Structure 1
Amino acid sequence: MPATTDDRVDLLAKRCDSDLGDPDLWFRPDGYPHSLALCIIDSIASTGAHYNSVKNVLRHYIEYRQAQGGNADTDNAGALLGTFTELGGPQQWAEMTNNRKPTSTSKGAPLKAAAIHEAAVQLREQGINSTYDLLNAAPSKIEEAKKAWISVPGQRSGITWNYFLMLAGIGGVKADRMVIRFVADAIGSAPENVSPTDAATLVKAVAEKSGRNVTHFDHAIWRFESGRPVNQQH
């Protein structure tokens, strides 16, 4: 007999209790509360990549902006697009960040740099130029922005959109392969039988049941599955 949703929530909650330690000691995700640019870059660069490569992209962008006298920590979408214009386009931007990875393994797939550029364009067209715009947007505006985002090459699943929101400070779950693997193991299923939506729904349910921040739950699970320490030592 298939496990009910309540059963799966209970199983996942038990696994979180046993594997993730004291929630008060969890490492907290940093995010970029004042930089829509860094939210866009990090979320799209992170797909199918080791996080060190993402950090390198961010570091190159931050250093480039510093050399210009700018501040990446407060960059909006317009500032990000300005760097593409100055450099000559996505190809040159990819070279500046030393990351020429494509959006997928499909032949001829565009660069992640091109997807970053397109996502910034789409957000601006939706009237979202800053994290302030995003955090204060009406639900209908957010939904339109999501539709625009998932139209960008390589972003159709919506995983990077959810991560983008989390980086900007809107609670959620980035149901990537790490989170799916943890959830699947906890509920006794194979990862291929757990969709990103299912994984996100179950993690959100556990967070609500425990009264904890769902983004913090997501981050703790990701750290555990990627072999990083989950709890800060005091």
Structure 2
Amino acid sequence: MTIRGVLFDVDGTLYDYEKAEEFGLHEHLVAEELSDRFESPAEALRVWREVREEEYPRFLSGELTFVAQKAERIRRFLAQAGVVGALEVTDEAATAWFASYAVRRDAVRRAFDDAQPTLGALAGRFRLGVVSNSVTAHQRAKLDAIGLLGYFTEPLVCSQEHGAAKPAASIFLAGCEALGLAPAEVAYVGDDYEKDAVGARDAGLRAIWLDRSVSRGPGAVDAGIRVITSLTELTGL
């Protein structure tokens, strides 16, 4: 079938989350006088991301709310920093700590350089939408802040409201339904190989894996998955 719609992941695909995260954490630790609790900024970032990768899936599975996973991440991170009583920090205090970090992170948030030109080239020719493992209001505000929300006229489909997270087929199919198209008429673009590319392919969409770091060549991926290293390649597809 001819592709008539394109669905996108957000973080790591359209939004340069990792760079903003690194800057925000460094600035916040300096402000909180905690930067000397780690051997280096790189070590602090490693611990931060390790905790995130363990706690965020608990939100996606429904075990924790979006806010609760933030609080748990802060308690664990502060404990790793050697802060006395870190594990007993209240939800309110942990949430406030995260919010202060987020202000610094969001001060430098931006879209990848290839996002706006690509969306601009696709808009009008294809129906564009978003499928994300997050909360709709959170992702909508983020896309608005980085100047990309206007390219998506259809509803955003996010795991919190949908009730299932990628790589579940149902969330990809919900994205297709939001576009009013059959799965075979929709391409999905994301940077996470398993959650985005494999999940989209198994749901019947045209799967496109965005491998910005060129971590493996086309021959190293599964059948039915197209590899690109920049969003600008989409216009040629």
Same structural fold, with TM-score higher than 0.5 when normalized by the shorter chain: no
The structure richer in helix per residue is 1
Q: TM-score, normalised by structure 1?
A: 0.30
Instruction: Compare the two structures and name the one with the higher strand fraction.
Output: 2
- Per the normalisation by structure 2, the TM-score is 0.30
* Structure of higher RCO (CA pairs closer than 8 Å, 6+ residues apart): 1
